[in-house]
């Protein structure tokens, strides 16, 4: 059993360290925006428990709040929460050029192929190749912060612990030095490249303990904070742990103010005397827990889980209330009889009732058509072939993203005429009808299709892959209501022309082998332009500027790698966006008309993209992608002749 006295003294020391930051916050002028993301992962699903990271993150968050940062604290976070929080941090920092960002991670971190990966708490990583999709690359964090173009970003990685995975090689011990360090940044590692950091014997790891001593010191410039932290770590470990700090920031920033608070009153002097007295007394430390409530509304009967613990079965169309939930971050999950899962992440605050809605409902069974619920603000119409179409009103919007990847810039204005768009991706059943009716035999493009070869760690071509045999990792065949995949850009264009003829419209495309031209004055079906796709995905004139199509929560909007179960899913099962369009974030990527090209900053009206190129545009992300690739602005370029197990399409036409 641990002795109580040393624990109490450590707790009091840290409490005083944090409290010492509080007066400084009152001195901040408010002229600089400060945002911090602090992550501490201790309780790993498959890797056991680390002693200090949650403590490290909790104490660091309190310290940063004390010196004026707006802090997002994630404890035992999964990959979705980590990925989305990084995007939010970048977005907040991009609001002002003089803003200061602070990213702190404590937990398991390893290197692979010269890349550092931060391991989420729910990590299930059976092999090294899975790191790219099931862990957060440190370079991804740095890239997002670089795109914010703010004045200073501080990145602290107290994550240099031994590789916990059985497949780990000796070469993956500790972290490596990141080669592409953002300008205007300070990157601090708890120990040098290839080495392992020590957890220490107290509440915090050695590095975090030393950093907490100095980060709230008034009059101490940021680089001196890390100099003293490093010296303290060396002294505490007898030179066994040598922190590494890399500086690309050449200005001066005093996180806790440029000078110490002036002690100009008896009150201040009395406070100082009280703190010193702690050294001669054994203090008593007490904690009080706070609680809140959740009200849950369901549309369909399912089993409710609170923080992954089965709680109760909730009947359809019911309201339930959970009380006495401890304050902090939690998750609710409902598993339906069909196997579908809906998850909601939320934060409980003292005395606050949090409303949670679970909206999933099963679609009526259908053989060759897709029936879309009509409970959205836009009522779809049906083509004569049974495809649900949503009318997208014309309008203008700002296309692209100033905080996204390089090819999403610059932000530019685009205006569009009205069009109809299929509410869902074209399904297997709808594509089968096309094949049977038209006798179409794919000829243009490469034979077979692209799949991920896990054994060889590379993309591979399966000569017998097809829309009927897509080589999904589960080995399952797609049902008729699933999105068709293993169709290339030319196959999609042929489908559009066939459907136009079938319904009495004019062919938009003239197709001669690999040469395809388009007459956009014609009224037939076609692939959306990239601009039409993004405008519709963002909600058109009804847009609420969500990160994903219809929500800021990817779990509501789309199927991605963490929840897809390595497979596509029937269309229309996630929440629609503002227009009533489904699956525009996740499930499968979707072909667009445009050749891939760079954006220009000029305003465009009904743009058609680049006049020529080698790759066509795909949009929307898919079941094998991370949430960052499912945002409405993400762009992917793909050879139009390639068929792939995660690429499909949807269609549009003029009113």
Q: What is the CATH number of the domain that holds 308?
A: 2.60.40.10
| Residue 345 included in any domain | yes
CB within 8 A of 87, min separation 6: which ones? 144, 403, 547, 627, 628, 631
Better-scored residue on pLDDT, 351 or 213: 213
Domain span including residue 489: 425-650
pLDDT value of position 23:
40
**Reduced 3-state DSSP string for 478-546:** CCCCCECCCCCHHHHHHHHHHHHHHCCCCCCEEEECCEEEECCCCCCCECCCHHHHHHHHCCHHHCCCC
| Span 96-110, pLDDT tens digits | 888 999 999 999 888
Mean pLDDT computed over 252-272:
57
Query: If you average pLDDT over each of 29-43, 283-297, 305-319, 334-348, which comes out highest?
Result: 305-319
pLDDT value of position 353:
84
| Residue 168 included in any domain | yes
CATH of residue 635's domain is 3.90.1580.10
Rounded-to-integer distance, Cα 88 and Cα 148, Å: 11
| Residue 655 included in any domain | no
Strand order in the sheet with 115-118: 109-112, 115-118, 136-137
Query: If you average pLDDT over each of 81-95, 198-212, 545-559, which comes out highest?
Result: 545-559
Rounded-to-integer distance, Cα 398 and Cα 266, Å: 57
Q: Say if residue 518 is in the same domain as residue 645.
A: yes
pLDDT value of position 164:
67
| Span 429-481, pLDDT tens digits | 999 999 999 999 887 766 778 886 756 667 788 888 999 999 988 887 788 99
How many structural domains are present in the chain?
3
Better-scored residue on pLDDT, 19 or 86: 86
| Residue 181 included in any domain | yes
| Helix, coil or strand: residue 627 | helix
Mean pLDDT computed over 391-396:
91
Mean pLDDT computed over 600-625:
91
| Residue 398 included in any domain | no
Q: Say if residue 230 is in the same domain as residue 295.
A: no
pLDDT value of position 176:
61
Cα angle 487, 590, 540 (rounded to 5 degrees) comes to 150
- The mean of the pLDDT values for the chain is 81
Cα angle 179, 181, 183 (rounded to 5 degrees) comes to 145
Q: Say if residue 272 is in the same domain as residue 302.
A: no
pLDDT at 488 over 70: yes
CATH of residue 261's domain is 3.40.50.1460
Q: Say if residue 325 is in the same domain as residue 459.
A: no
Other beta carbons within 10 angstroms of residue 413's beta carbon come to: 14
Q: Say if residue 177 is in the same domain as residue 108.
A: yes
Better-scored residue on pLDDT, 111 or 346: 111
- Where a domain ends, among 219, 254, 277? 277
Least confident window among 109-113, 405-409, 497-501, 628-632? 109-113
Q: First and final CA of the chain: distance in angstroms?
A: 75
Q: Say if residue 340 is in the same domain as residue 440.
A: no
Q: What is the DSSP string of 94-128?
A: TT-TT-EEEEEEES-EEEETTEEEEPPTT---SSG
| Chain centroid, CA 263 distance in Å | 46
| Residue 393 included in any domain | no
Q: Say if residue 271 is in the same domain as residue 296.
A: no
Q: Say if residue 483 is in the same domain as residue 601.
A: yes
Rounded-to-integer distance, Cα 416 and Cα 419, Å: 9
Mean pLDDT computed over 350-359:
82
pLDDT value of position 8:
28
pLDDT at 196 over 50: yes
- Where a domain ends, among 310, 337, 358? 358
Q: Say if residue 29 is in the same domain as residue 164.
A: yes
Q: Say if residue 271 is in the same domain as residue 323.
A: no
Rounded-to-integer distance, Cα 506 and Cα 523, Å: 6
CA within 13 Å, CB half, 240:
9
pLDDT value of position 120:
92
| Residue 416 included in any domain | no
| Residue 339 included in any domain | yes
Q: Say if residue 75 is in the same domain as residue 215.
A: yes
C-beta contacts of 281-285 below 8 A and 24+ residues apart: 282/5, 282/8, 282/9, 283/8, 283/9, 283/12, 284/8, 285/8, 285/11, 285/12, 285/15
pLDDT value of position 99:
92
Q: Say if residue 247 is in the same domain as residue 311.
A: no
- Where a domain ends, among 331, 358, 385? 358
Look up the pTM and report it. 0.51
If 0-12 CB within 10 Å is exposed, 13-18 middle and 19+ buried, where does residue 474 land? Answer: exposed
């Amino acid at each position: 059993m641990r002795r109580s006295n040393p624990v109490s003294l450590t707790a009091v020391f840290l409490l005083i360290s944090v409290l010492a930051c509080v007066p400084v916050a009152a001195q901040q002028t408010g002229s600089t925006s400060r945002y911090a993301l602090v992550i501490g992962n201790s309780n790993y699903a498959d890797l056991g428990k680390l002693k200090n990271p949650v403590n490290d993150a909790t104490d660091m968050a309190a310290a940063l709040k004390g010196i004026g940062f707006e802090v997002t604290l994630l404890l035992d976070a999964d990959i979705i929460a980590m990925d989305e929080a990084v995007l939010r941090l970048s977005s907040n920092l991009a609001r002002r050029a003089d803003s200061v960002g602070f990213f702190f991670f404590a937990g398991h971190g390893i290197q692979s192929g010269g890349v550092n990966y931060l391991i989420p708490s729910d990590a299930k990583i059976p092999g090294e190749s899975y790191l790219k999709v099931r862990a957060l690359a440190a370079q991804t964090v740095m890239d997002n912060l670089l795109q914010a173009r703010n004045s200073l970003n501080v990145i602290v990685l107290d994550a240099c612990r031994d590789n916990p995975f059985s497949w780990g090689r000796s070469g993956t011990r500790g972290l490596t030095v990141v080669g592409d360090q953002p300008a205007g940044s300070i990157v601090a590692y708890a120990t040098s490249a290839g080495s392992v950091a020590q957890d220490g014997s107290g509440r915090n790891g050695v590095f975090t303990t030393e950093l907490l001593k100095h980060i709230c010191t008034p009059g101490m410039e940021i680089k001196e904070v890390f100099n003293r932290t490093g010296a303290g770590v060396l002294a505490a470990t007898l030179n066994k742990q040598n922190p590494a700090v890399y500086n690309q920031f050449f200005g001066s920033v005093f996180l806790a103010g440029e000078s110490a608070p002036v002690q100009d009153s008896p009150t201040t002097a009395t406070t100082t005397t009280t703190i010193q007295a702690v050294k001669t007394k054994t203090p008593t430390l007490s904690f009080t827990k706070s609680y809140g409530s959740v009200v849950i509304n369901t549309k369909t009967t399912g089993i409710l889980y609170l923080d992954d613990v089965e709680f109760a079965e909730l009947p359809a169309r019911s309201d339930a209330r959970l009380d006495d939930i401890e304050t902090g971050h939690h998750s609710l999950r409902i598993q339906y009889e069909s196997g579908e899962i809906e998850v909601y992440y939320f934060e409980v605050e003292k005395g606050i009732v949090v409303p949670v809605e679970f909206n999933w409902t099963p679609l009526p069974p259908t053989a060759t058509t897709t029936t879309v619920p009509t409970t959205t603000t836009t009522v779809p119409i049906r083509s004569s072939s049974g495809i649900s179409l949503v009318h997208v009103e014309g309008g203008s919007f700002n296309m692209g993203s100033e905080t996204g990847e390089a090819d999403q810039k610059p932000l530019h204005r685009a205006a569009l005429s009205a069009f109809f768009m299929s509410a869902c991706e074209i399904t297997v059943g709808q594509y089968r009808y096309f094949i049977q009716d038209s006798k179409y035999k794919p000829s243009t493009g490469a034979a077979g299709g692209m799949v991920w070869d896990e054994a060889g760690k590379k993309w591979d071509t399966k000569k017998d892959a097809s829309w009927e045999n897509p080589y999904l990792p589960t080995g399952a065949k797609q049902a008729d209501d699933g999105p068709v995949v293993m169709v290339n850009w030319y196959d999609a264009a042929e489908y559009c022309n066939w459907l136009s003829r079938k319904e009495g419209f004019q062919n938009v495309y003239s197709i001669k082998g690999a040469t395809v031209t388009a007459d956009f004055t014609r009224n037939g079906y076609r692939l959306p332009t990239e601009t039409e796709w993004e405008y519709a995905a963002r909600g058109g004139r009804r847009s609420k500027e969500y990160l994903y199509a219809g929500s800021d929560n990817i779990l509501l909007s789309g199927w991605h790698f963490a929840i897809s179960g390595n497979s596509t899913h029937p269309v229309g099962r996630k929440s629609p966006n503002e227009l009533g369009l489904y699956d525009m974030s996740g499930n499968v990527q979707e072909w667009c008309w445009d050749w891939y090209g760079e954006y220009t900053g000029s305003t465009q009206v009904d743009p058609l993209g680049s006049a020529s190129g080698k790759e066509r545009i795909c949009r929307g992300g898919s079941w094998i992608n991370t949430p960052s690739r499912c945002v409405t602005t993400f762009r992917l370029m793909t050879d139009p002749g390639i068929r792939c197990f995660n690429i499909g399409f949807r269609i549009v036409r003029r009113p």
